[in-house]
Structure 1
Amino acid sequence: MRRATLIISLFLTAITALPQGLNPSINYCAGNKQTVGHCETLSYVDTTTAASNPPSVKECQEACWSTFMDAGDWAVPLAGKPEDYRQRMVSSPCGFSMGIIPNTSHDFSFAMNNQDIADIIDEVVKRFAPLHGGRVAAEGTVRCDGHEARWWVSRDAR
């Protein structure tokens, strides 16, 4: 009986922790801009029109919300990976991935902070959502801990 009660309690806790009821007036990607991360974003390229089903602003807000629910630093190990490698960092309808810049040395690893990820998603939404009816997809480059890599925000940022 206690086990069933525990399972039900955990299930109810998990349901209430889901971002179903996010307040649309709050920017969940803002986080704490005073947080010092590992990365500087170098470029943003709008790929929304090329995306078959770009994520919505709401989906990107949910992605940021869930990113901040995780631990603070994320490892990005690119050493030894093929040039087409993408590491899915945020698995949600508004996905976030990191990968290798083609034709460059990539024998390195680095860390990203939650705020680094949320800052990229936030800027993508600010720059491109007004141009595409609240939908976004983008890619670009970033320098983290002195290493340059590619990033993607899209539904299929695998």
Structure 2
Amino acid sequence: MTAVILSRKLTLLMPRQEAVSLVSEFKLWREGGIGPGDTFGKDSAFAKPKSVVDMGLRKVHLEEPSVSDAWTRRLRTGEEDPQRFTSDKLLVYGRLGDAQYNPYLLLTILEPGHAHMEQPDLVRGLGVFFETERQDIGKYFPSSEWLSAGFP
């Protein structure tokens, strides 16, 4: 069972159907139901700063209009290397290892992702945001403030 929680920020800002789709597809991807190039591409851990690395935060490239044709071509030719599926739209996520069901927390979407990744203060802020969400989920979840899937 894979449990997924969408951050309050994304729950508020995304259109409802888009948010539900993101959570469902992320769950399916983490369960191995879809492969690279089908919504999700290159996936990697943060390399710095240490505080964010220690939290285990990760980023995965999301399919977006400017890369859809290239991703589709790669899929048609049987490309399976996730490192080849890149974009400038990044989903930042982490795992809540101390929470029941060890859920994934989909934190935020950075677009343009690469420009944001070059801003040390912004990246450090992701760690603060993750920790705040983690603490509040521990206190108040389940709640309508968060969209989730995969919980019994």
Q: TM-score normalised by the shorter chain: which range applies?
A: under 0.3
State the TM-score, normalized to the length of structure 1.
0.23
Q: Which has the higher helix share?
A: 2
Structure with bigger gyration radius:
1
State the TM-score, normalized to the length of structure 2.
0.23
